[in-house]
Structure 1
Amino acid sequence: MNSRTIRLLTLQIIIVSLLIPIIAAAQPVIEINYFYGKDCPHCQALNPIIDEIEADHPNLVIHRYEVYYNDTNYEIFDEFRDRYGIKVGGVPVIFFNDTYLSGDITKEEIEREIARIEAGETDKTPESKVSIPFLIISGIVNGLINLCTFAVFILLLTSLLILNDRRKIIIIGITFIIAVYLTYLLVGVGLINTFLFAGTERYIRSAVIIIALLAGVINIRDFFTGESTLAIPKFAKPGIKRMIEYASLPTAGVLGVFATLVGLPCTVGVYLPVLTALSAEPPLQAILYLLFYNIIYILPLFGIIALVYFGTDPEELDEMRESKKRYVRLFGGIVILSIGILMLIGVI
């Protein structure tokens, strides 16, 4: 090998050595912050995916934070949520430089975000984790098992029949329904905000699972015993009867609020899991979904008022409610128990 060849090889080595850091610098360092819980089923499924992605991307730096058993990490999680202006109800959550992913995160979603950042593209809004079919189905189920409000509404309509004024029946009935809608909506908004701002999000999911499982078991048991455990408390019934006797527009509104609040035991088994899911959505999205969900929830009440308006005797409806309530409780119990089990194994 002559001296000229040696000089050329030496020059090539120098050039390559100079280009290596330049090429490496061309790949931007991407930092992501991964928040997870030790006992979270979704996190356990995601952890190996995170490790695999980290191995595939030398320019990727992943900061891991366990939040179930580490209060300091949980405070950091709160800081990230404040910084991004979002309301995420639980883990796993991955924060990128300008967006985040939460819930059932897939490898494809993470790879897509990494590729977007490497290409210098701007932020895109994460897809919602709550589906419209889920809201519709759960809203219908919750509305159908709402025996407590059904009973109050039918009694109110029965008292209105003596007026022999269909127009007034419609007006007072719709006033009651609007009061139910607004009260249930405000309860939902209040619970979502409680989940997010009371510093108890890590315990909420466990509490909701326990409530759903208990409510499901109690409703199924009531089918066999004929009892009505999750019903309007006895102490509230005299007050409801007194309000029904007046059968006026303001009374209908107050009655709708009161019946909704004291009847929460009938529906809480479905409502809490829905609110837990919505708490992981961006604020505006969560409110829009909740508005929609509650419309589905009150549809059976509109069905009752339509039947009465077109000639069905409310007493017949009440007899039907009484004769079928055991089966309604069985149906509701199975649905609520199923929701609790699906949450327990991490499907929901």
Structure 2
Amino acid sequence: MRGRWRIIPAFLLALFILLSFIQPVIASEETEDEFQDRLSGLLEESNNSITVFYSNSCSACKKVVPEIIELAKEYPEISFNYFDLYGSDENRTIMLAFGEKYGVEYPAYPVVFTGDCTVLEGKSKIELYLRKVLEAHKNGYIPDAEYESSLWSAQSPPSEASNGTATDDNRKISLLLVILSGLADGINPCALSVLALLLATLAGMNSRKKILLGGLVYTFAVFLFYIMAGLGILTIINYSGFSGIFSIAAGIVALIAGIITLTGGIWEGKTVSPGIPVSKRPAIKKIMERASIPAAFVLGMMVGLFELPCTGGIYIAILGLLSSRMTFYEGLPYLLVYNLMFVVPLIAIILAVAFGLSPEKVDSWRDSNKKLLKIGIGLILIAMGLYILAGYLF
């Protein structure tokens, strides 16, 4: 009975992968033509109304939107339109159309559009200037491009760098986080141990070409599996509208996985330690003994299947961040970068072995540094879990 329960994570993961290739169908009462008509109407009315874009997963938005709603009550003669970007590619399309009209290539939410050229990006600008904008609307000074331009050149609105919204600087930090996380995940002892055994088998054939081909095919299979799994998970989250719930769950999973991995590194053998199930190792060994290119590919897919539910805490944490801070299509490049970084250590080891490094030395290094690697990965997972939970809840 216990053996049957072990296949549940693998079954769920396979379901994620299958669904990643299925285009979700979302029931909508609005046709494409009706949406375009509505968008055109919103753009035409934007000069004389206040249009607010925000995200329910944005901490700055959660603070400033209630303030906007309260302020709007003082100006009942002015029309306010609110668009939540959280899980809505349709509202994202509307925001980008507003950005194009107002000359902002990538608006940073929360953002307010009004008048002929007035754009208030971020919590700080909205809190400082929205009342003045509303007063100008009330007194008939807005819309007026000349007046608005002179108003903002005189006021010198504050820099966006300090308001904590989704600016380009924050996106650079996010990209660095993705790169470092992928590299950290790529040196986990589980993946390295299987790779070392594969290389030892291939090295026995005394062929550099077979070492390179077999190792790279194995790495490609792992990369492909992880990409497919990530796409499946992001697709389900994006179209289900549960990105906030998933983000919190990902933070909790990362925190728990970090504690387990950390304690496993400190007290090795005395605690539960994630890894490929012992019952699956004979099957892996049997495939490895074939030492063929197709066998290397199958091995890579098998390792990905059994490794991800056990040691994919960092990956789940990154997917949680992507799902809560970006749309599906914005997150795709970051997903690709993460998985490229994930296989960089594997590729480096394959090249080293192909040009003379003993596979036994790779495995010896892994074994001697196993505790240190687990402690490091455990600390990274704990930090990421706390970061996700703090960023979303507070």
- Determine if the TM-score, normalized by the shorter chain, exceeds 0.5: yes
Q: Does 1:258 align with 2:302?
A: yes
Percent sequence identity is 30
Using the TM superposition, give the Cα deviation of residue 61 of structure 1 relative to its aligned residue in structure 2, in angstroms.
5.1
Which structure is larger by alpha-carbon Rg, 1 or 2?
1
Residue equivalent to 2:375: 330
Q: TM-score, normalised by structure 2?
A: 0.65
Paired residues for 1:128-207 under 5 Å: 130-131=171-172, 132-144=175-187, 146-207=188-249
Residue equivalent to 2:122: 106
Q: Does 1:235 align with 2:289?
A: no
Distance, in Å, in 1 between the alignment partners of 2:294 and 2:144 is: 61
Residue equivalent to 2:102: none
Evaluate the alpha carbon distance shift between residue 331 and residue 57 of structure 1 in structure 2; reply closer, same or farther with a 3 A threshold.
farther
Partner letter of residue 253 of structure 1?
F
Residue equivalent to 2:253: 211
Evaluate the alpha carbon distance shift between residue 43 and residue 282 of structure 1 in structure 2; reply closer, same or farther with a 3 A threshold.
closer
Distance, in Å, in 2 between the alignment partners of 1:26 and 1:326 is: 59
Please state whether the residue corresponding to 2:51 is helix, strand or coil: strand
Q: Which runs of 5+ in 1 are unaligned?
A: 1-24, 66-73, 87-93
C-alpha deviations, 1:60-99, integer Å up to 9, x for none?
655679xxxxxxxx9x966xx253366xxxxxxx969836
Distance, in Å, in 1 between the alignment partners of 2:240 and 2:66 is: 32
Distance, in Å, in 1 between the alignment partners of 2:79 and 2:225 is: 47
Partner letter of residue 292 of structure 1?
V
Distance, in Å, in 2 between the alignment partners of 1:342 and 1:59 is: 42
Partner letter of residue 295 of structure 1?
L
Distance, in Å, in 2 between the alignment partners of 1:283 and 1:174 is: 29
Residue equivalent to 2:340: 295
Evaluate the alpha carbon distance shift between residue 326 and residue 59 of structure 1 in structure 2; reply closer, same or farther with a 3 A threshold.
farther
Residue equivalent to 1:83: 90
Q: Does 1:28 align with 2:48?
A: yes
Using the TM superposition, give the Cα deviation of residue 201 of structure 1 relative to its aligned residue in structure 2, in angstroms.
2.5
Bigger shift: residues 51-60 or 305-314: 51-60
Residue equivalent to 2:315: 271
Q: Which runs of 5+ in 2 are unaligned?
A: 1-44, 100-106, 112-120, 134-141, 149-165
Distance, in Å, in 2 between the alignment partners of 1:268 and 1:288 is: 19
Evaluate the alpha carbon distance shift between residue 266 and residue 299 of structure 1 in structure 2; reply closer, same or farther with a 3 A threshold.
farther
Evaluate the alpha carbon distance shift between residue 55 and residue 97 of structure 1 in structure 2; reply closer, same or farther with a 3 A threshold.
farther
Partner letter of residue 182 of structure 1?
L
Question: 2:255, 2:385 within 8 Å by CA — same for their partners in 1?
Answer: yes
Residue equivalent to 1:17: none
Please state whether the residue corresponding to 1:231 is helix, strand or coil: coil
Partner letter of residue 379 of structure 2?
I
Question: 1:29, 1:61 within 8 Å by CA — same for their partners in 2?
Answer: yes
Number of equivalences: 299
Distance, in Å, in 1 between the alignment partners of 2:186 and 2:379 is: 15
Evaluate the alpha carbon distance shift between residue 48 and residue 103 of structure 1 in structure 2; reply closer, same or farther with a 3 A threshold.
closer
C-alpha deviations, 1:31-84, integer Å up to 9, x for none?
3365537xx85555445764697599888655679xxxxxxxx9x966xx2533
Please state whether the residue corresponding to 1:345 is helix, strand or coil: helix
Question: 1:130, 1:277 within 8 Å by CA — same for their partners in 2?
Answer: no
Alignment RMSD: 3.9
Q: TM-score, normalised by structure 1?
A: 0.73
